[in-house]
């Protein structure tokens, strides 16, 4: 349940928590916020004496943590976040700032200082709002802090050491955890309890509400720091009419009774309207808008209309829609591609998603148009909708219909494979293997990446005859051709080629359990001791059981995915050991297990 409507408004934003603290993660999880965790690499080494107050130090540290992540995500992965949240918790007593103890003696020094006295816990929080200006990252920073006063009982030496030996103090500011065993040391708390635990949730929600749902002019206002241009953080209200204060509104009816109105359901409205954005993107791709604007071209709506053979009025509307979605930039002379569009939407871009987008527009869109019929009638329609056709197709490609349809499907799969192939190839050191076999390797995208990363590796792509026949049109020119070979066969019916490393990457998470088990038994049988299996699939978060990659899979019959432990159990049951997982940060993570 989401108590603050502003949390719902963030549902379509890429929110990132720049912290390794499990407590912060849990607090924000419980608030219903959807976010990724990218721990900051900022070293907490600022000169404390250069800050006028302890909280100024905490705020600056929080800011540096968040900025480091914002810049890293932008420059390294091209995954610019919308909001990055950083926090830093410190304990202060008699002008001294206590952070996490470095060892047990340090914990002892801290806790004996706190014994029998009141101290302050400050958490500095920074919300960094990120946007792109061309290739540059632009950031706007909002910061605040919260203070809570905590009084400790007198602690005996025995109690102190017993607590230190519990191990709890080591990763916590001031050397204690109020939420766990450390709660027994505390006599009194004045202020926000969660602030002591590591994150002042109440203050944070209020700050976000000020940004996204500012109060109406006549509503009660606490003194709000000027947010200036951060005001644009508010979602575009174009689709939903007038901005609402975001909280329940009370109105006096004619009979004098007070009626209350529920808060505006932002998240729900976004869902209701979401299909419009998809269709604008799919249509612009189909009409080749991003191709006519590639290579930095700037064109007016009339010029684009002439090139794509469409009406000027209609093209203007479409271009405006794309600009609103962040796919095009408006400038005085007209429109141009954003970086996102240049990298992923122009047909000849290295990472173009055109094939996948065409598949969605021609195939998936139609299927979902008939969702109601599919749900009423079940059967084949629902199988197609739920993504089950994937497994059927690769057991029998005839099921997909025409060769053109199979090609479209392969283009889509190829585009998605390009997104993760490089990270998968580098997830582990595979240099000990001389041969690899990618079962159901489709167009060979991962095989070529592996060959590129390991010059001594011979990779066989094993897939259905029809797929192998069509695969050559996807082969990258001049790339490691001698290292990659294609072999036609059926992974379910035929014997598997010998290899030191087997790879399964086509949606193992979407196969029903029995099919996957069957496949793993087969691999396990042929895989020699010391050889290995590499699975590429999304690894679910242990706590939240979600992953970014799960979002488009929502309607799949087998959207479950597996946690690290889930993979471990599964692979051990098939005679594999030393199961290792690398989260790539992309669509597919990598799991390696040795036979
Ligand atoms: C007083 C107190 C602190 N903490 C934890 O202490 C760490 C502070 O360190 P930090 O530097 O602010 O954070 P971190 O853990 O190093 O993570 P990061 O944000 O990546 O720097 C955070 O974990 C907090 O929960 C508790 O769990 N309970 C308490 O009662």
Residue with the nearest Cα to atom 11 of ligand 1? 88
Indicate the pTM of the whole model. 0.55
Ligand 1 centroid to residue 166 C-alpha, Å: 17
Give me the DSSP letters along 179-232. TTGGGGGEEEEES-HHHHHT--HHHHHHHHHHHHSPPPTTS--PPPPP-GGGGG
User: 170 and 182 in contact (C-beta within 8 Å)?
Assistant: no
Would you say the CB of residue 200 lies under 6 angstroms from ligand 1? no
Would you say the CB of residue 121 lies under 6 angstroms from ligand 1? yes
The mean pLDDT values, 10 residues at a time, for the chain of 595 residues are: 74 90 92 90 90 92 96 80 96 94 96 96 95 84 94 95 94 96 95 97 89 56 34 36 37 53 72 90 96 94 96 94 87 87 91 91 82 76 58 54 82 89 92 95 93 94 92 77 91 92 74 80 94 89 49 43 84 94 83 95
Ligand 1 centroid to residue 300 C-alpha, Å: 52
User: 467 and 414 in contact (C-beta within 8 Å)?
Assistant: no
Ligand 1 centroid to residue 60 C-alpha, Å: 15
User: 271 and 245 in contact (C-beta within 8 Å)?
Assistant: no
Ligand 1 centroid to residue 222 C-alpha, Å: 29
Ligand 1 atom with minimal separation from the 87 CA: 19
Ligand 1 atom with minimal separation from the 88 CA: 12
Residue among 119, 172, 175, 176 whose CB has most ligand 1 atoms within 8 A, to mutate: 172
User: 117 and 98 in contact (C-beta within 8 Å)?
Assistant: no
Residue with the nearest Cα to atom 14 of ligand 1? 21
Residue with the nearest Cα to atom 7 of ligand 1? 172
**How much is the pLDDT for 396?**
55
Q: What residues have CB less than 8 Å from 190, skipping those under 6 apart?
A: 148, 149, 150
Would you say the CB of residue 196 lies under 6 angstroms from ligand 1? yes
Q: What is the largest CA-CA distance in the chain?
A: 84
**Rounded CA separation 366/175 (Å):** 58
Q: What residues have CB less than 8 Å from 458, skipping those under 6 apart?
A: 434, 435, 436, 483, 484, 485
Of 398, 513, 385, the C-alpha closest to 465 is 398
**How much is the pLDDT for 281?**
97
Q: Which residue has the tokens 């036609």?
A: 488
Residue among 16, 18, 21, 85 whose CB has most ligand 1 atoms within 8 A, to mutate: 21
Q: What residues have CB less than 8 Å from 161, skipping those under 6 apart?
A: 108
Of 554, 556, 562, the C-alpha closest to 538 is 562
Q: Which residue has the tokens 């049951």?
A: 573
> What SS3 string covers 434-475?
CEEEEECCCCCHHHHHHHHHCCCCEEEEEECHHHHHHHHHHC
**Rounded CA separation 105/111 (Å):** 10
Residue among 22, 181, 198, 199 whose CB has most ligand 1 atoms within 8 A, to mutate: 198
Would you say the CB of residue 125 lies under 6 angstroms from ligand 1? no
Would you say the CB of residue 408 lies under 6 angstroms from ligand 1? no
Q: What residues have CB less than 8 Å from 114, skipping those under 6 apart?
A: 91, 93, 152, 174, 175, 176, 185
Q: What angle do CA 460, 479, 439 make, to 5 degrees?
A: 20
Would you say the CB of residue 170 lies under 6 angstroms from ligand 1? no
Would you say the CB of residue 8 lies under 6 angstroms from ligand 1? no
Q: Using CB atoms within 10 A of its CB, is residue 81 exposed (0-12), middle (13-18) or buried (19+)?
A: buried
Ligand 1 centroid to residue 401 C-alpha, Å: 56
Reading the block at residue 131, the tokens are 């946007």
**Rounded CA separation 354/16 (Å):** 28
**How much is the pLDDT for 13?**
87
Residue among 149, 171, 183, 194 whose CB has most ligand 1 atoms within 8 A, to mutate: 171
Catalytic residues: 88
Alpha helices by DSSP H, 454-563: 465-470, 513-526
Strand 577-582: give its sheet, edge to edge. 484-488, 458-463, 435-439, 501-504, 532-537, 589-594, 577-582
Dihedral sign computed on CA atoms, order 390, 392, 396, 401: negative
Q: How crowded is residue 255: how many other Cβ atoms within 10 Å of its Cβ?
A: 6
Q: Which residue has the tokens 């011979």?
A: 458
Residue with the nearest Cα to atom 18 of ligand 1? 19
How many Cα atoms occupy the beta-carbon half-sphere of 555 within 13 Å?
Answer: 15
Residue with the nearest Cα to atom 4 of ligand 1? 172
> What SS3 string covers 131-191?
EEECCEEEEEEEEEEEEEEEEECCCCHHHHHHHHHCCHHHHCHHHCCCCCHHHHHEEEEEC
DSSP secondary structure letter of residue 299: B
- Chain center to CA of 300: 35
Give me the DSSP letters along 34-71. --EE----------GGGSSSHHHHHHHHHHHHHHHHHH
Ligand 1 atom with minimal separation from the 24 CA: 25
**Rounded CA separation 454/244 (Å):** 57
Q: How crowded is residue 543: how many other Cβ atoms within 10 Å of its Cβ?
A: 11
Would you say the CB of residue 120 lies under 6 angstroms from ligand 1? no
**How much is the pLDDT for 498?**
95
**How much is the pLDDT for 420?**
87
Ligand 1 centroid to residue 544 C-alpha, Å: 20
**How much is the pLDDT for 227?**
32
Would you say the CB of residue 119 lies under 6 angstroms from ligand 1? no
Q: Using CB atoms within 10 A of its CB, is residue 254 exposed (0-12), middle (13-18) or buried (19+)?
A: exposed
**How much is the pLDDT for 80?**
86
**How much is the pLDDT for 578?**
93
The number of residues making up the chain comes to: 595
Ligand 1 centroid to residue 552 C-alpha, Å: 34
Ligand 1 centroid to residue 585 C-alpha, Å: 24
Would you report the helix, strand and coil content of the chain in percent, each value rounded to 5?
A: 45, 20, 35
Residue with the nearest Cα to atom 21 of ligand 1? 19
């Amino acid at each position: 349940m989401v108590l603050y409507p502003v949390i719902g408004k963030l549902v379509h934003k890429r929110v990132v928590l720049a912290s390794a603290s499990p407590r912060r993660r849990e607090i924000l999880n419980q608030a219903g916020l959807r976010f990724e965790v990218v721990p900051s690499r900022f070293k907490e080494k600022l000169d404390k004496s250069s800050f006028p107050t302890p909280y100024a130090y905490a705020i600056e540290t929080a800011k540096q943590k968040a900025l480091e992540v914002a810049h890293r995500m932008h420059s390294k992965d091209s995954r610019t976040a919308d909001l990055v949240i950083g926090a830093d918790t410190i304990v202060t007593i008699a002008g001294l700032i206590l952070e996490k103890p470095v060892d047990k003696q340090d914990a002892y020094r801290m806790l004996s200082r706190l014994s029998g006295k009141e101290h302050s816990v400050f958490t500095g929080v920074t919300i960094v709002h990120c946007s792109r200006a061309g290739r540059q990252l632009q950031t706007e920073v909002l910061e605040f802090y919260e203070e809570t006063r905590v009084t400790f009982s007198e602690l005996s030496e025995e109690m102190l050491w017993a607590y230190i030996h519990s191990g709890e103090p080591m990763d916590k500011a001031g050397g204690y955890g109020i939420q766990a065993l450390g709660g027994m040391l505390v006599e009194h708390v004045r202020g926000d309890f969660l602030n002591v635990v590591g994150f002042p949730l109440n203050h944070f929600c209020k700050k976000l509400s000020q940004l996204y749902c500012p109060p109406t002019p006549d509503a009660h206002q606490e003194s709000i720091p000027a947010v200036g241009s951060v005001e644009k953080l508010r979602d575009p209200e174009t689709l939903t009419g007038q901005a609402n204060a975001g909280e329940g509104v009370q109105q006096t009816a004619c009979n004098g009774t007070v009626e209350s109105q529920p808060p505006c359901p932002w998240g729900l409205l976004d869902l209701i309207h979401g299909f419009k954005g998809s269709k604008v993107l799919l249509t612009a791709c189909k009409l080749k808008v991003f191709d006519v604007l590639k290579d930095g071209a700037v064109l007016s709506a009339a010029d684009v209309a002439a090139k794509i053979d469409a009406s000027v009025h209609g093209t203007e509307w479409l271009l405006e829609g794309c600009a609103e979605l962040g796919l095009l930039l408006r400038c005085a002379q007209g429109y141009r591609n954003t970086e996102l569009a240049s990298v992923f939407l122009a047909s000849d871009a290295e990472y173009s998603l055109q094939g996948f987008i065409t598949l969605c527009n021609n195939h998936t869109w139609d299927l979902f148009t008939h969702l109601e019929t599919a749900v009423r009638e079940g059967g084949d329609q629902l199988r197609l909708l739920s993504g089950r056709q994937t497994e059927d197709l690769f057991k029998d490609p005839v099921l997909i219909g025409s060769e053109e349809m199979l090609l479209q499907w392969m283009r889509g799969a190829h585009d998605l494979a390009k997104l993760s192939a490089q990270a998968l190839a580098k997830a582990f050191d595979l240099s000990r293997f001389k041969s690899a076999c990618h079962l159901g390797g489709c167009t060979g995208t991962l095989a070529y990446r592996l060959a590129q990363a390991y010059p001594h590796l011979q990779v066989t792509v094993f897939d259905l005859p029809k797929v192998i026949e069509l695969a050559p049109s996807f082969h990258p020119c001049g790339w490691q051709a001698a290292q990659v070979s294609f072999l036609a066969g059926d992974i379910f019916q035929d014997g598997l080629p010998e290899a030191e490393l087997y790879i399964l990457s086509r949606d193992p998470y979407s196969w029903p359990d029995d099919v996957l088990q069957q496949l793993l038994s087969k691999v396990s049988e042929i895989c020699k001791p010391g050889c290995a299996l590499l699975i590429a699939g999304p690894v679910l978060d242990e706590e939240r059981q979600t992953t970014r990659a799960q979002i488009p899979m929502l309607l799949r019959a087998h959207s479950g995915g597996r946690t690290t432990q889930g993979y471990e159990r599964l692979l051990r049951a098939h005679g594999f050991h030393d199961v290792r997982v690398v989260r790539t940060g992309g669509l597919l993570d990598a799991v390696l297990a040795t036979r």
